[in-house]
Structure 1
Amino acid sequence: MVTGQPFQWPETVWRQQVDRVRAGRSLRPDRWPDGRQAAVALSFDSDHETIPLRDGEFSPCQLSQGEYGSRVGVPKILDLLSTYGIPATFFVPAVSALLHPADIDAYVRNGHEVALHGWIHERNTALPAGVERDLALRAADTLEQLAGTRPVGLRTPSWDFSADTLAVIRELGLRYDSSLMADDDPYEVVADGEPTGLVEIPVEWIRDDAPFFPRDPTRPSVPPRQVLTTWRDEFDAAYADGGLFQLTMHPHVIGHRSRFVALRQLVEYIAGHNVWFASHADVADWCLRQ
């Protein structure tokens, strides 16, 4: 445990903390499949009721906000993806999968990837030693049972790494993570100066719907068409650079009518370009082959 004030730390302390998990070599390929100009990886975190459950909130009102994700958001998302023939990645807490097994069936049936997102959307950095591992193993077993294949990727529930996270990833034999933010494009994760072989498909709060549309009614929500402009600009820059455009959404957030209009328009816009739509697993595998 690190003690004392940060300004009192010797260089060895802060350097050790910084070097625990870092960005290594870029894995952005020189080319994308079939001569595509850029890659697009759409993802949906199917948290549903797990956010209030994690916090011990049992109000039917709060739980209904999550239920909306499965009842309304997921069918609309699957229909949109089917219309454009887009494969996506659904990061699913195990409890959410157990509450909504029909969602998992629908993801698999429509050719989408099902990936790890914790057990009950727990805050992994607040867990006692060893608990994160136990929950991750249980979650992987649960998703394998429901989806028919073992997950190959992880997005930590709170976009954070504990002291145990990387060891858990390695024990599970995962090929990629999608929780860190050191680049716009895929890179190899380095731990204590050593390459790990793990592909990072980086996320960013700019490319996430939750900060723009918070659950907290006391926090202002951004107009959906303004979010659409931000995401289009993010895509345009990725396209011009020949890189990856990765987007994180939540069915219980993006599924609402005005917000879904923005998503539909974004997908229509992107589909008019020479892009490779791919799951996160497919992006990771392609980067590793180059």
Structure 2
Amino acid sequence: MDEIQWPEGKKCAVMFSFDLDGDTTWENGNRGLPNGEQYIKSLSVGQYGPKRCADRILDKLDQYGVKATFFIPGLTAERYPEVVKRIAAAGHEIGLHGYAHERFAGKTAEEQIEIIEKPQRILRELIGHDVEGFRTPSGDWAVETPKLLYERGIRYSSSMRGDDRPYRTVIDGRETDFIEIPTKWEVDDYVAMAYHMYPAEPAGQDRISCYRNVEDNFMREFEGHYRYGLCISFMSHPQVIGSPGRIRILDHLLQHITSKKDVWIATGSQIADWYREHSGSDYSKTQEVG
């Protein structure tokens, strides 16, 4: 396996990322339930993220001097503009995450273009510039999605699962500068600790994982990526990782990882830019998407 040469001889790369979904995911889920528009409690779970948890996370990142990437739906940005401004003012990166946390899979090209361009306009108005990164909401995209993103100035994605290194995306049979920074379910706080009733998450209920075990899983994944010189993208959600108890998981991760002086902690754009400039252009470092 080819080793990636990280900046200044660093051993591995780490990206801390947060999906600031707000109440969009619960609104989407509630639409499939009888009288779902009346389920206010479920919406409050998502609202907890921008209302309380985002600032708690910002304080923790500031404590350790770490810059992160926040993927934000356009609708959440419209509802919580001051939170978005605080994130940007603190020097963190902001990326696209759809408009209302829609699944790109199954949508027409025209529909996808709208939910790429609309949130870009919203975020540009709030923070004064276009954003360069993207994470697909709800875990999947259509075959043509990378092409539509790339044509509209998006330079990287952190959406897929098929590698533990960045790679160049092949679009229409041609290798491009559209960089993918894969993440993993194993370092996603939502799949381990999210819980709500309407709609049921998880579907069978009866799961909020032991925080100690989740932290241990995250630490083990980091140590593995560190050992092999890879790139790990922690994918968190403020309403989950930002609670008073679970913020300790983030604290311990930051404390441990920042203590290692040979680890490069960077935003998505920084990692994508480095890889684009310093990687080769052979198909062992690419993946075809359409």
Q: TM-score w.r.t. structure 2 length?
A: 0.86
Distance in 2 separating the partners of 1:154 and 1:209: 19
- 1:257 Cα deviation (Å)? 2.2
Residue 270 of structure 2 is matched in structure 1 by 282
Distance in 2 separating the partners of 1:129 and 1:38: 37
Of 260, 264, 267, 2:254 maps to: 267
CA offset digits 1:194-218 (Å, max 9, x no partner): 2122110001111111110132271
Bigger drift between 190-199 and 225-234 goes to 190-199
Distance in 1 separating the partners of 2:18 and 2:141: 20
Q: How many residues align?
A: 264
Distance in 2 separating the partners of 1:69 and 1:87: 19
User: For the Cα contact (< 8 Å) 1:133–1:164, is it kept in 2?
Assistant: no
Gaps of 5+ in 1: 1-24
1:194 aligns with 2:168: no
User: For the Cα contact (< 8 Å) 1:50–1:96, is it kept in 2?
Assistant: yes
Of 60, 73, 84, 2:53 maps to: 73
User: For the Cα contact (< 8 Å) 1:114–1:147, is it kept in 2?
Assistant: no
Distance in 2 separating the partners of 1:29 and 1:111: 27
Residue 6 of structure 1 is matched in structure 2 by none
Give 1:270's aligned amino acid: I
Distance in 2 separating the partners of 1:85 and 1:193: 41
User: For the Cα contact (< 8 Å) 2:103–2:139, is it kept in 1?
Assistant: no
SS at 2:164 equivalent = coil
- 1:147 Cα deviation (Å)? 1.6
Fraction of identical pairs, as percent:
34
Give 2:96's aligned amino acid: L
Distance in 1 separating the partners of 2:249 and 2:61: 14
- 1:42 Cα deviation (Å)? 0.3
User: How do 1:1-290 residues align onto structure 2 when only pairs under 5 Å count?
Assistant: 29-30=4-5, 32-55=6-29, 56=31, 57-58=36-37, 59-215=39-195, 216=201, 218-274=205-261, 275-290=263-278
Q: TM-score w.r.t. structure 1 length?
A: 0.86
Compute the RMSD of aligned alpha carbons. Answer: 1.7
Gaps of 5+ in 2: 196-200, 279-290
Could you list the structure 1 runs, at least 4 aligned residues long, displaced by more than 4 angstroms after superposition: none
Distance in 1 separating the partners of 2:127 and 2:121: 10
Give 2:230's aligned amino acid: G
User: For the Cα contact (< 8 Å) 1:37–1:239, is it kept in 2?
Assistant: yes
